[in-house]
């Protein structure tokens, strides 16, 4: 029976594979019944004649993975044990104790409790170290992200006893925490950059994203926002319906946002169905090579309708629609069923004709080719030219969204020293140490983030301490390289202190001051003539 169940699950996948293969084969067509019989025979032979006892569950999972890999780069198999983990970022929540943490010197360090979450309610504070979990030592080499997830996450309503070391006290404080549902926010930051321009950074298109976005937009409008920067850099996508709902906010009624089409899936057009909350104000969307899927749907619709200016670098080029199919054992196949097209008909998906391995080396090839640094390194044939739907501007297909304004990777402060500091986590660990040692002093001196932002400066003595810390951690200090990277190093130290003392939004409020892409966006939004000229209005 076990063999039969496994075989039936394989048959389902095999049918999908054969249907796709029939469409793509040029020289010969497979007969589905004969092919299925061939697969069944292989399993029968292994089960009855193989020298050892075969693990059919493992063989089946390997077969499924291999079949899907041959179809396209984004069809995927998710085993039963990984389904929940795979869905969490898009579901917008998980169940646990509600803390942001870091592994610091083999110890679980609470960076901040989630406001209103289980840990916050019982009094756990930023800077606390979790050294015991249910009476068991929770430090040492065994402690990693997987260990923390296994011991601190759990079903809502279950209890866990945490032994907390606070400050310099040797005495542990015990907290009983009742696990609960913890929100995973998809908006990293939302605030006013000046008295007219608002900024929203969306990390992913999750179930809760529109609730978060609507609240952020309302708050910014209450602060008299006239123009908006929507930052989709590094946003690798999420739910299609969230992408269309977000596009709804910027486009007027009955406008095409995206359409999908596949050999076995007829054309489906998604249009705006209501008047959005921000259809008239000036808009800039930021994208880069990490912006994919849903991010490309939004930026493509904004560009095709001449609704706003797209700034950054060419997006990833992921325009394949995956539909989940649940298998009998609780595992899931995410099978590509269609392609995304922008309103002008541009296919978002870039080519994967040379196979998945070559496809995922695309970013390295772009860098080697110079695309991250020079816009003219990207050549588009006339066959890939399209015209926008209002102004008739030229835009390009061929995979991904090419921005209206190209911004190269900023290498102004790049040195080997800075790379080593990032790679070895020196900046992060130094600022954690600094905040832990000076938390009360920082709060007493600066009261809140706004005052910290205006008055806090990185002193020479802090840099001396930082250099000593870096050298102790194995970084070779080069003074000439430090002088070149100093502005960025100091900015990151201040921003990370702000994050560790307050929250992630405050981190962005510090670093965006020196973000050339954001500054370019602000320049364009503050110059109505330049904004209209780009959009040919």
> Per-residue pLDDT for 416 more than 80?
yes
Distance CA 89, CA 207 (A): 9
Picking from 444, 382, 375, the residue whose alpha carbon sits closest to that of residue 408 is 375
Where does 6-126 show beta strands of DSSP type E?
76-78, 93-96, 99-104, 107-113
What is the structure's pLDDT at 365? 83
SS (H, E, C) 264-300: CEEEEEEECCCCCCCCCCEEEEEECCCCCCHHHHHHH
The per-residue DSSP string of 11-29 comes to: HHHHHHHHHHHHHH-SS--
Arithmetic mean of pLDDT, 369-379:
79
Distance CA 505, CA 220 (A): 14
What is the structure's pLDDT at 11? 46
Distance CA 357, CA 291 (A): 20
pLDDT tier for residue 149 given thresholds of 50, 70 and 90: confident
Give the CA distances from residue 510 to residues 393, 456, 489, in Å, rounded to whole numbers and listed in that order.
Answer: 36, 11, 12
The region that residue 447 occupies, defined by phi over 0 for left and psi between -120 and 50 for alpha, beta otherwise, is left
What is the structure's pLDDT at 69? 87
> Per-residue pLDDT for 406 more than 90?
yes
Q: Which of 318, 331, 485, 494 is catalytic?
A: 318
Per-residue pLDDT of 272-298, as tens digits, reads: 998 899 999 999 999 999 999 999 999
Arithmetic mean of pLDDT, 72-91:
81
Total residue count of the chain as it appears in this document: 537
Fold exhibited by the domain 187-323+338-409+525-535:
2-enoyl-CoA Hydratase; Chain A, domain 1 (3.90.226)
Where does 193-289 show beta strands of DSSP type E?
197-202, 227-231, 256-262, 265-271, 282-287
Pairing of strands 265-271, 385-387: unpaired
The partner residues of 335 in beta bridges, in order of sequence, read 323
| Contact between residue 301 and residue 342 where contact means Cβ atoms under 8 Å apart | yes
| Contact between residue 292 and residue 315 where contact means Cβ atoms under 8 Å apart | yes
Q: Which of 186, 291, 293, 331 is catalytic?
A: 293
Distance CA 304, CA 291 (A): 17
3-state DSSP assignment of residue 127: coil
pTM: 0.83
Q: Which of 180, 188, 288, 304 is catalytic?
A: 304
Arithmetic mean of pLDDT, 321-336:
92
Cα angle 329-334-339, degrees, rounded to a multiple of 5: 160
pLDDT tier for residue 161 given thresholds of 50, 70 and 90: very high
> Per-residue pLDDT for 472 more than 60?
yes
Quick check: is 188 catalytic?
no
Quick check: is 271 catalytic?
no
Quick check: is 280 catalytic?
no
Residue identified by tokens 């998945």 is 356
What is the structure's pLDDT at 91? 66
pLDDT tier for residue 464 given thresholds of 50, 70 and 90: very high
Arithmetic mean of pLDDT, 90-115:
79
Count the Cβ atoms, other than its own, within 10 Å of residue 507: 20
Question: For the domain 93-183, what is the CATH code?
Answer: 2.30.42.10
pLDDT tier for residue 424 given thresholds of 50, 70 and 90: confident
What is the structure's pLDDT at 7? 46
| Contact between residue 149 and residue 94 where contact means Cβ atoms under 8 Å apart | no
> Per-residue pLDDT for 160 more than 90?
yes
Per-residue pLDDT of 5-59, as tens digits, reads: 444 444 444 444 444 444 444 444 557 788 888 888 998 999 999 999 999 888 8
Buried b (16+ CB within 10 A) or exposed e, 276-312: bebbebbbbbbbbbbbbbbbbbbbbbbbbbbbbbbbb
């Amino acid at each position: 029976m076990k063999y039969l169940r496994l075989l039936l699950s394989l048959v389902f996948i095999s049918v999908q594979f054969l249907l796709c293969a029939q469409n793509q084969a040029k020289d010969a067509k497979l007969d589905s019944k004969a092919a299925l019989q061939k697969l069944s025979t292989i399993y029968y032979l292994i089960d009855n004649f193989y020298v050892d006892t075969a693990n059919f569950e493992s063989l089946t999972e390997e077969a499924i993975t291999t079949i899907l890999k041959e179809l396209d780069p984004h069809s995927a198999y998710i085993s039963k044990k990984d389904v929940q983990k795979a869905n969490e970022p898009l579901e917008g929540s998980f169940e646990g104790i509600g803390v942001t943490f870091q592994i610091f010197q083999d110890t679980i360090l609470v960076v901040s409790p989630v406001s209103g979450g289980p840990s916050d309610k019982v009094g756990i504070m930023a800077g606390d170290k979790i050294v015991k979990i249910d009476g068991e030592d929770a430090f040492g080499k065994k402690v990693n992200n997987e260990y923390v997830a296994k011991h601190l996450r759990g079903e809502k309503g279950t209890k866990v006893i945490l032994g907390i070391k606070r400050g310099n006290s040797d005495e542990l404080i015990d907290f009983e925490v009742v696990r609960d549902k913890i929100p995973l926010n998809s908006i990293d930051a939302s605030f006013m950059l000046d008295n007219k321009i608002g900024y929203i950074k969306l990390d992913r298109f999750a179930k809760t994203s529109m609730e978060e976005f609507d609240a952020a937009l309302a708050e910014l409008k209450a602060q008299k926002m006239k123009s908006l920067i929507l930052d989709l850099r590094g946003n690798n996508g999420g739910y299609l319906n969230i992408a269309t709902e977000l596009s709804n906010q910027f486009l007027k009624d009955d406008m095409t946002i995206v359409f999908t089409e596949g050999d076995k899936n007829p054309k489906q057009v998604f249009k705006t169905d209501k008047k959005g909350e921000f259809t008239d104000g000036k808009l800039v969307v930021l994208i880069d090579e990490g912006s994919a899927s849903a991010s490309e749907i939004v930026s493509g619709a904004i560009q095709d309708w001449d609704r706003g200016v797209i700034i950054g670098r060419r997006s990833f080029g992921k325009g394949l629609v995956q539909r989940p199919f649940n298998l009998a054992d609780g595992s899931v196949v995410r099978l590509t069923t269609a392609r995304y097209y922008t309103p002008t008909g541009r296919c978002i998906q870039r080519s994967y004709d040379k196979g998945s391995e070559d496809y995922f080396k695309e970013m390295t090839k772009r860098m080697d080719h110079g695309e991250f640094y020079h816009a003219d390194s990207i050549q588009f044939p006339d066959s890939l030219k399209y015209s926008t739907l209002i102004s008739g501007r030229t835009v390009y297909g061929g995979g991904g969204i090419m921005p209206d304004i190209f911004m190269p990777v900023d290498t102004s402060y790049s040195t080997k020293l800075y790379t080593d500091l990032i790679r070895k986590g020196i900046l992060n660990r130094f600022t954690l140490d600094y905040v832990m040692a000076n938390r009360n002093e920082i709060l007493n001196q600066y009261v809140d983030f706004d005052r910290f932002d205006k008055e806090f400066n990185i002193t020479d003595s802090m840099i001396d301490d930082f250099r000593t810390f870096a050298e102790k951690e194995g970084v070779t200090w080069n003074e000439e390289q430090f002088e070149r990277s100093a502005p960025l190093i100091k900015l990151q130290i201040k921003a990370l202190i702000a994050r560790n003392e307050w929250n992630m939004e405050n981190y962005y409020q510090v670093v965006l001051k020196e973000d050339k892409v954001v500054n370019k966006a602000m320049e364009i939004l503050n110059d109505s003539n330049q904004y209209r000229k780009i959009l040919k209005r």
